[in-house]
Amino acid sequence: MTTPNVWLGAAERIDAALAAIAPLAARHTAAVRPRLARVLDAFAAERVGVQHFASVSGYGHGDLGREVLDRVFARVLQAEAAAVRLQFVSGTHAIAAALFGVLRPGDRLLALTGRPYDTLEEVIGIRGSGQGSLAEFGITYDEVPLTAAGLVDDGRIAEALAVPTRLVLIQRSCGYSWRPSVGVEQIGRLIERVKALQPDCDVFVDNCYGELVEELEPTAVGADLIAGSLIKNLGGTIAPTGGYVAGRAELVERACCRLTAPGIGGEGGTSFDLNRLLFQGLFLAPQMVAEALIGAELVAQVFSDLGFAVNPAPGGPRSDVIQAVRLGDPERIKTVCRAFQATSPVGSYLDPVPAPMPGYASELVMAGGSFIDGSTSEFSADGPLREPYVLYVQGGTHHSHAALGLQRALEALHNRGQLPADC
């Protein structure tokens, strides 16, 4: 791919980065087999057949395909139960249903991983009002701030849990924060700590961007409830919309009662004859997650070689598919997003411009020419236009797509004089 003023060093830099991450790529590729084996075992155990691709209309009562899909997801997510629904419009919606399903007026919600993702601020009532937040229903909220290094502050957990707490929130992904994602092993230790201090307190994990990145899911190490989006990891880039909740059967049903209505819960909701895409997306998910991780390693290597701070570093621990790059300048974010958009399969002619987005406090600039609108399991990038001006890159059906986008981005940064002087 060329431009009228091509920086000839871009392709060479990409090739050098690909060579540097080759052992990491091999490691991520090797991890596909055990993840896929888990998926195939779940399909076999639930005797998935073509008859499960259809669904009933109307209320969705007795949708056999949806019921089998729920059980397959529960097995893959190592949970007692799961509810996979196209009626969840986003991961935030699934999380909100989980929170409103479990919490009651007078309860306390405590976040152990600092400030939650932007779109949850209005759900909780930290920002905004008048739309039925948890705060408006008399649910109190506290959080344990992260340390200066962006880590969970273990020393403050006991003090925070000295107050009776109904639900603890752990956000696995970094979100729009400059911090490491929280690994499943660490999530397990945090859950043990919570249960030791307050045995009756449930633990909810925002699992967005983290599914199938590690061998175990949070539900395998004691999480009572998790939730996420199907246009992220588990949709395998082909799920058209939707989200899931998984965990203890009682809590999954409570979340479903918030999605539909008390008394209907998980028994309602048609799948619009789209079950095949959800089954097939789950089948593809281990491979797609591995490609996204290889792409993330490549992004980290390329920008690290250019002198930019990246999180995580190439080869560093990963518990989600997000790669953060501190570009330190809003114009650089715009330049990279335009380059990524120009190498997108859909809407390559569009010019990403900063704009307000529902649920976000800052204007965002986003590159996402994906087949499923907003799908972050496909190669995409976005960043809030606020200090320290960090770009977040995720997804990708093949790391070659990331390589092409990076080459275009390096050429654009070079041509605009936005690279460090020694590059």
The mean pLDDT value of the chain amounts to 94
User: What CATH number corresponds to the domain at position 95?
Assistant: 3.40.640.10
Let me know whether 106 and 228 are in one domain. yes
At 204 the pLDDT is 98
In a domain, 394, yes or no: yes
* 359 band by pLDDT with thresholds 50, 70 and 90: low
pLDDT at 296 over 60: yes
Both 98 and 148 in one domain: the answer is yes
**Contact, 170 vs 120, CB < 8 A?**
no
Residues 260 and 349 in one domain: no
Is position 1 within any domain?
A: no
- Does residue 4 fall inside a structural domain? no
Q: Is 2 among the domain residues? A: no
202, 308: one domain: no
In the listed set 249, 282, 315, which residue is the last one of a domain according to the structure? 282
Let me know: does 108 contact 142? Beta carbons within 8 Å.
Answer: yes
290 and 272 within one domain: no
How many distinct structural domains can be found in the chain? 2
Strand boundaries in 190-305, DSSP class E: 202-206, 225-229, 243-247
* Helices 275-305, 32-45: inter-axial angle, 10-degree rounding: 170
pLDDT at 168: 98
Is 422 within a domain?
Answer: no
Split at pLDDT 50, 70, 90, the class of 368 is confident
Same-domain status, 29 and 53: no
CA-based end-to-end distance of the chain: 21
Please give the Cα distance from 28 to 336 (Å, whole number). 26
Please indicate, yes or no, whether residues 272 and 298 belong to a single structural domain of this protein: no
Please indicate, yes or no, if residue 420 is contained in any of the structural domains: no
Res 5 pLDDT > 80: no
Tell me if residue 338 falls in helix, strand or coil: helix
Same-domain check for residues 337 and 381: yes
User: What local confidence, expressed as pLDDT, does residue 10 receive?
Assistant: 92
Residue 122 lies in a domain: yes
pLDDT score recorded for residue 4: 45
pLDDT value, residue 175 = 85
Confidence of residue 2 (pLDDT cuts 50, 70, 90): very low
Q: Rg of the chain over CA atoms, in angstroms?
A: 21
For 213, the domain range is: 36-282
Residue 7 confidence (pLDDT): 60
78 and 44 in a single domain? The answer is: yes
Q: Decide which of 282, 314, 332 is a domain's last residue.
A: 282
Picking from 282, 307, 324, the residue at the C-terminal end of a domain is 282
**According to the model, what pLDDT value does residue 354 have?**
83
User: Are both 214 and 340 inside the same structural domain?
Assistant: no
Q: Tell whether 275 and 292 lie within a shared domain.
A: no
Stated as kind and residue range, the H or E segment containing 33 is helix 32-45
Q: Are residues 278 and 293 in the same domain?
A: no
- For residue 240 the two structure tokens come to 């058209």
Q: Residue 421 domain-assigned?
A: no
